[in-house]
Amino acid sequence: MTGDKRAAARIITDEAARAAIEQRRQKREGRVLKLARAQLRPASSEIVESRANDARWFCLQVKNGHDFTVEKLFTDCGVQVLAPRETIVKVKRGKKIEGERAFFPGYLLVRLVPSAEAFAAVRKQDHIVGFVGGESGYHVVRDADVVVFQPISTPDIAELPVDKTIGQSSRCRISAGPLAGLECVVLDVKWKREPRGRVRVEVGDKFVVVDRLPIAFLEKL
CATH number at residue 202: 2.30.30.30
- Structural domain harbouring 25: 3-39
Which of 99, 120, 154 represents a domain boundary (last residue)? Answer: 154
Average pLDDT for 42-69: 93
Q: Please write the tens of the pLDDT for every residue from 41-51.
A: 999 999 999 99
Which of 135, 154, 173 represents a domain boundary (last residue)? Answer: 154
Quote the mean pLDDT of the chain: 83
Q: Please write the tens of the pLDDT for every residue from 179-195.
A: 888 899 999 999 887 89
With cut-offs at 50, 70 and 90, classify the pLDDT of residue 170.
very high
Q: What is the pLDDT of residue 45?
A: 92
Indicate if the alpha-carbon torsion angle 19, 21, 22, 28 is positive or negative. positive
**Separation between Cα atoms, residue 9 and residue 2, nearest integer Å:** 11
pLDDT exceeds 90 at position 98:
no
**One domain for residues 211 and 169:** yes
Q: Please write the tens of the pLDDT for every residue from 119-144.
A: 999 999 999 999 998 667 888 988 88
* DSSP classification of residue 162: -
**Separation between Cα atoms, residue 181 and residue 128, nearest integer Å:** 23
Helices (H), the chain: 3-39, 45-50, 67-76, 116-123, 143-147
161: exposed, middle or buried (Cβ count in 10 Å: 0-12, 13-18, 19+): exposed
Amino acid 15 reads: E
Name the pTM for this structure. 0.71
